[in-house]
Chain A
């Protein structure tokens, strides 16, 4: 009983559109006021403790790196490179949209940022070429879901930090599922484009010479994820420090190589970075106290024990997890699920003997898919608002993509090697 009243308070406040962080805060206060004898000051102390982890600093760092990359013109170069690679295929611009999301995953690490960027950058051209609004928005939104699992995805860092799983391994585990989703999505777009007569962007395939020339321009962007993985693998820096290096890298590129960065842009980039990271940081801070009282009340342990007693096979457990998360993802924001719910599920996954790196990719993919669907899909709303398309039209167009994503989820869930092959190869078993 002690746990359920504060949790109910949280859900009621969330439904009343109260800020997420403070719904969690009020819930925690309710517990401390009515169900415990601890001094109230501890609630604020827990907030400070929630922020005292060096791993968490990786979040503002990578967000900042992504923003500076944008300001320094790297994303524009990646766009022309994507168009060289895929412009000759049916539905050329839609293909470019997907490839750009996958490439940008290595930079921005947030699907919301990616959806917003592609909606502004590519969709206007798609509309001019005769693609329908609904289809353009659907491709943009669906392909942006690839970003959070390509390193250095913010969700990967968050999951690793909360559940004490190696962030380096999680980074690598996301690569193959991400590439697989990219390929599947391109096949789907190609089918739809042929049926509707969406034309290629270029008349013929780009020659190797053109691609090599474009690669030279985009190479700088590709070196960053490589520096990060290699640096972490060989112990030059921790994932957090890798974030700081990524910021330094993007500022240097912007200021000295592309010469697009000036003091004014730098200041604006700093403010943008604070705004983009503060929401998730404050939610993490208040959630620390929240998850503490859940643990005191033994909720995670009870759920894990309940599952262990009633669910006997890994397969059944994974199906159950996917089902729960897809449904919850339709109602709750992805980061909130990750912070509040993933420790509960991980406790059970440990009991079931599931590899936590693999499990992390499953959870993150689920949270991502939830952002695409009503009623609370954040990516859906962002894309529809920028593209100015009706949600109903969007849903009709996004349905095949959604089904394709669910198929990818099933593949990732039941073939652990898709996620685990690379991390095991690089870091050893």
Chain B
């Protein structure tokens, strides 16, 4: 069972790793664009109106692929206090079963509504670059999809593989 799961996740993890590449490229890209914005306006005297628009579109993608990276490392922020006071069994039930289930449910809702929003907004465009808003919004359901994968993966094989993940990065 363990080896089958191990093999299965070895394959899917390869796909799951795309979020690292996407989010770091976005982070890098947004900085470059903003620096260019300053150069164009202040030194070339020719402000680039598209800078703000493009970086905001990338920002939406960055936030949700960033969420996926957090889920991958089990670092989505929560407030740890009360469950240290309740019996261990109850805490286990809440932490390892109820919480991931509700988290996954939230993500499914965001993915579903997010794709609805993408379809709904296909005909409206940003004002300068004329990017369809659907492309901007697509980052939300896609990033959430990756997040969902990591949440389910951790729920299935537990936190004992966290360290391996950390050394990979």
Contacts and interface: CB of A to CB of B under 8 A. Distances in A.
A270 B66 contact: no
Which residue, of A270, A333, A381, has the highest number of chain B Cβ atoms within 10 A? A270
Contact of B76 (A16, A267, A279): A279
A372 to B, nearest CB: 15
A20 B77 contact: yes
B27 interface: yes
Interface in A365-386: 375-376, 381
Interface string A270-296: 110111011101110100000000000
A213 interface: no
A45 B121 CA distance: 10
Contacts of B30: 57, 60, 244
* 3 nearest A-B pairs in the assembled complex, by CB-CB distance: A278-B66, A244-B34, A270-B24
A182 interface: no
A343 to B, nearest CB: 21
A44 B103 contact: no
Interface stretch (A46-54, A131-139, A345-353): A46-54
B117 A17 contact: no
Contacts of B24: 267, 270-271, 274
Given A18-B103, A26-B102, A270-B24, A275 B76 contact: no
Given A20-B77, A57-B55, A285-B63, A274 B27 contact: yes
Interface stretch (B5-13, B91-99, B152-160): B91-99
A375 B64 CA distance: 30
A16 B82 contact: yes
Interface on chain A toward B: helix, strand, loop, or mixed SS? helix
A193 to B, nearest CB: 33
B28 interface: yes
B60 A51 contact: yes
Contact of B70 (A47, A51, A247, A279): A279
Given A247-B31, A267-B24, A237 B38 contact: yes
A60 B62 contact: yes
Interface string B73-105: 101111111110000000000110011001100
Contacts of A268: 169
B66 A19 contact: no
Interface in A40-94: 40-41, 43-45, 47-48, 51-54, 56-57, 60-61, 64
B110 interface: yes
Nearest to A332: B79
Interface string B103-137: 10010011001101100100000000000000011
B148 interface: no
A245 interface: yes
Given A17-B99, A20-B77, A275 B66 contact: yes
A19 B77 contact: yes
B66 A274 contact: yes
Contacts of B99: 16-18
Contacts of B79: 14-15, 17, 20, 332-333, 376
B141 to A, nearest CB: 8
B70 A44 contact: no
A285 B169 CA distance: 27
A284 to B, nearest CB: 8
Contact of B110 (A44, A240, A267, A376): A44
A373 B62 CA distance: 33
B102 to A, nearest CB: 7
B142 interface: no
